[in-house]
Amino acid sequence: MNEIFSIAGKTAIITGGSGVLGSNIARGFLQAGAKVFIVGSRQETVQKALDELSPLGTVAGSACNVLNIEELKQVKDKVLNLWGNIDILVNAAGGNIPGGTLTTEQTFFDMKVEDFDKVVDLNLNGTVYPCMVFGEVMAKQGKGSIVNVSSMAATQALTRVPGYSVAKSGIEIFTKWLATEMSLKFGDKIRVNAIAPGFFIGNQNRAILINPDGSLTERSQKVIAKTPMRRFGDISELNGAVQFLCSDAASFITGISMSIDGGFNAFTSV
């Protein structure tokens, strides 16, 4: 493989590394020779992911609330003690929460503000705070790559998920904002980008997309109808884009959001 696409030897923190997307990105990173530290909300699920990932390479992890600056600083210290630097941060912690999705019968005016606040907090601040704590290490090093996780809900209105949409839209502008801040103040070796995954079946969207009998819900039939490739993504199809953005091959790319969506964002379905 051409060396500029390599992430071998780099150190990476993946928040949400115990989740569907994050653990898959971690798997891809390990297979590519990077060292990976995963962060998740619960120790049991982090341990389960570590058990699965450790045969693939150098991996460590711990439970940490991405909304808690002190806990994030403890992770930063652990990673610096282990490996001495942080080359990559992937912010994959997040997702919708049950109360954050309106039922088909509900309207905006039935929305519970506590649920709205929770989902916005997790999906926006849950990326901003890790960028503050781990990004500061990159600023001091003068190099690093951050990849945030946006969504199809960021740029087009998806029904029923108001809080999630607002937060992911925030991720898009925050990615541009932080990319600008890092390059202007800390140099051209620190890059901040986002991926915007289309539809992949994960824990937090399974119920809204797949019926208990395994058939597609009405909503997921609409998703497929608006996806020119006529299918959901396979989780492994995120890895090429994330690794590219973290490699030297992307050395002049910062502030972008890359859709990985089978054409969903490009298509009006007319």
- Which stretches of the chain bind ligand NAD, using CB under 6 A? 15-16, 18-22, 39-41, 45, 64-67, 92-95, 122, 126, 149, 151, 197, 199-200, 202-205
For ligand NAD, the closer CB: 24 or 247: 24
Taken in order 15, 20, 24, 25, the sign of the CA dihedral is negative
For ligand NAD, the closer CB: 133 or 149: 149
Q: How far apart are CA 199 and CA 215, in angstroms?
A: 16
95 exposure class (CB count in 10 Å sphere: 0-12, 13-18, 19+): buried
Q: Which residue is nearest to ligand NAD (CB)?
A: 19
For ligand NAD, the closer CB: 144 or 233: 233
For ligand NAD, the closer CB: 144 or 197: 197
- Residue 76 CA, chain-centre distance (Å), reads 18
206 exposure class (CB count in 10 Å sphere: 0-12, 13-18, 19+): exposed
Active site residue 129: no
For ligand NAD, the closer CB: 18 or 186: 18
Retrieve residue 92's tokens: 């994959």
Least distance to ligand NAD from the beta carbon of 74, Å?
A: 13
Which member of 37, 129, 134, 164 is catalytic?
164
21 exposure class (CB count in 10 Å sphere: 0-12, 13-18, 19+): buried
Least distance to ligand NAD from the beta carbon of 215, Å?
A: 18
- Residue 167's identity, in one-letter code, is A
At residue 145, φ and ψ (nearest 5 deg) are -135, 130
Least distance to ligand NAD from the beta carbon of 10, Å?
A: 21
How many residues are listed for the chain in this entry? 270
Least distance to ligand NAD from the beta carbon of 94, Å?
A: 3
Least distance to ligand NAD from the beta carbon of 91, Å?
A: 8
Active site residues: 164
